[in-house]
Amino acid sequence: MKQLLILIILSLSALALVAPQLPFTADARAQTAPTATSRPTRVRQPKAIVTPEPTATAEPEEADSAELAPVAPGAMTSQIVVFNPDTTGSATVQIEIYDSAGAAVFTTTENISPNGAKIIAVPNTLGANFQGNAIISSDKNVQALALAANGNHNARDAYEGVSAPATQLTFPLARHLADDTQNTILAIQNAAASSADVTITFYNADGTMAHQQNETLAARGSFYLNTNTLFSGSPFTGTIALAATQNIVAALQTRYVRDTAAVRALAADEYDTLIYLYSLERKINGKGAAQNWSEIFARNNGANAADITIEFFNNDGSSAGAQTVTGVPANGLAQFLLNDAAFAALGNAFTGWAKVTSTEPLGVSTFSAMSKGKRFNGADGLANSQVNTRYVCGATARSAMENTQLTLLNTEARNAKILVRLFDPNTGAKLMQTTIKLTPHAATTVKFSDSLFAAAGSNFRGMTLVQAKGKTPPKIIAAVSNPYGSNKLISADGYLCSALP
């Protein structure tokens, strides 16, 4: 059996305390599956059908001059989306959930068709305030995403499962601006069958150490750290490094105004001196108030000080300017906040992409603040070494309540023809396909609400494949944003689609 690790910060009840999402391990490498004797007693399985989430209630839109008061998201409940891009046959998938002490508390087995997908809910039998992690085992190369949302869906986030846990991980951003409402929650999962000692180090933006602590995680156990306990009353913006004696995975949830965003930790093979950022925005209204903007955080993972340059491009591929930060120390952070006046040269209606280059290897995360910050999502930049020609996007939707926005970027100096295909989540049958044409270095965002995707119907929630066409197809990037509810600013989640061989 092959395994995926999912570190998911799980919370199960609207009565639960605020809880982060667990990291989940989604390990697609061949590993020893849990033995039959280690499996818990089977409990009643949650429904595993792929259906739209309940309708959220839209909030009234504030006037431009109104201040948005930060609001804690409340209890977050997790789901796991498992999808099977392996066309060699149906996948037999076992999902095991462990509590923070490493005890197996739930198991279920599902069958997923080729190109099919299922949503697995965390069962109510685990009780309120549950936090833990999941291991997904399969006879096929399945992939997975962790999703979470609060009760009224004004806070949601998503991040990818991990197929290759590691002993050294970093986060390009850890931020604490206010307790409970603009804090960060770190989750770490021990992927091994024996205990792991983990050193957690927070670094200031200048590369100096802000905090360090050591924790021991039980086999299959997890650990959660809320920045409320570290930086209460003292704003902090920096990075995190994790070092462990066993393979681990990690994720964090950061909060901003009303919504939450989650990203997973980066391993060494995801660092590079060239990082692509596939969807950026700077929208300032006529009164000078920022409406939509991107926040970019680049961590110097090298041993020496780095000069870091971000070069912006319009969606048509034309240059929109560049900025350089020099002498960023090892473990230090360069920040590019596009709502700042320093980026006025981009104009007040910029949409495009960027590439970040450096004299040392980087890890980069981007966060998108929309609707004056009421919508917030996050995703990692993509290292040049990992740019591909084929991707799978496991959680996409087309319905009255949720419509995916698929961003496509042509990284090469030649034209690209990109095939986009949507599949029935239950049978894996192809529902529709379309071809998107991109000129050199161009990007576009296609909305599943468009008539172009009408053949998928009005109740679609499943898997999408993206592939550049040709004998030697150009390398592309694909990413998803899933705004929820009306355009009156409920919430959104986003993630980078997974590369396929």
Task: Summarize pLDDT for 230-277 with one digit per residue, the tens.
Answer: 999 899 999 999 999 999 999 999 999 888 999 999 999 999 999 999
Backbone angles phi, psi at 487, to 5 degrees: -75, 0
What burial letters (b/e) apply to 9-34, b meaning 16+ CB within 10 Å? bbbbbeebebbbbbbbbbbbeebebb
pLDDT above 60 (res 188): yes
Position 483 scores a pLDDT of 81
The Cα 358–Cα 351 span in angstroms is 23
The Cα 407–Cα 481 span in angstroms is 8
Task: Summarize pLDDT for 442-454 with one digit per residue, the tens.
Answer: 999 999 999 999 9
Position 55 scores a pLDDT of 41
Position 153 scores a pLDDT of 79
CATH class, domain 271-385, is mainly beta
CA of 85: how far to CAs of 88, 90, 154, in Å? 9, 10, 31
How many other C-beta atoms can be found within 10 angstroms of the C-beta atom of residue 92?
A: 15
Half-sphere exposure in the Cβ direction for 338 (13 Å, CA) = 35
pLDDT above 90 (res 52): no
178-182, 296-300, 305-309, 342-346: the lowest-pLDDT one: 178-182
CATH of region 390-499 = 2.60.290.11
Find the mean pLDDT for residues 173-184.
94
Position 486 scores a pLDDT of 56
Would 271-385 and 390-499 be classified into the same CATH topology? Answer: yes
Share of the chain above pLDDT 70, in %: 85
pLDDT above 50 (res 143): yes
Q: Which residue has the tokens 């087309």?
A: 398
pLDDT above 70 (res 36): no
Per-residue pLDDT band for 154 (boundaries 50, 70, 90) equals confident
Q: Is the pTM higher than 0.75?
A: yes
CA of 431: how far to CAs of 181, 454, 457, 470, 479, in Å? 41, 10, 8, 23, 20
Backbone angles phi, psi at 124, to 5 degrees: -65, -20
CA of 80: how far to CAs of 149, 283, 391, in Å? 12, 33, 19
Find the mean pLDDT for residues 309-330.
98
Task: Summarize pLDDT for 397-420 with one digit per residue, the tens.
Answer: 999 888 999 999 999 999 999 999
The Cα 388–Cα 276 span in angstroms is 12
26-30, 74-78, 151-155: the lowest-pLDDT one: 26-30
In the chain, domain spans: 271-385, 390-499
Find the mean pLDDT for residues 341-364.
97
With CA atoms as reference, report the closest residue to 86 among 471, 404, 428: 428
Per-residue pLDDT band for 3 (boundaries 50, 70, 90) equals low
Position 217 scores a pLDDT of 97
Position 370 scores a pLDDT of 86
8 A C-beta contact, residue 406 and residue 396: yes
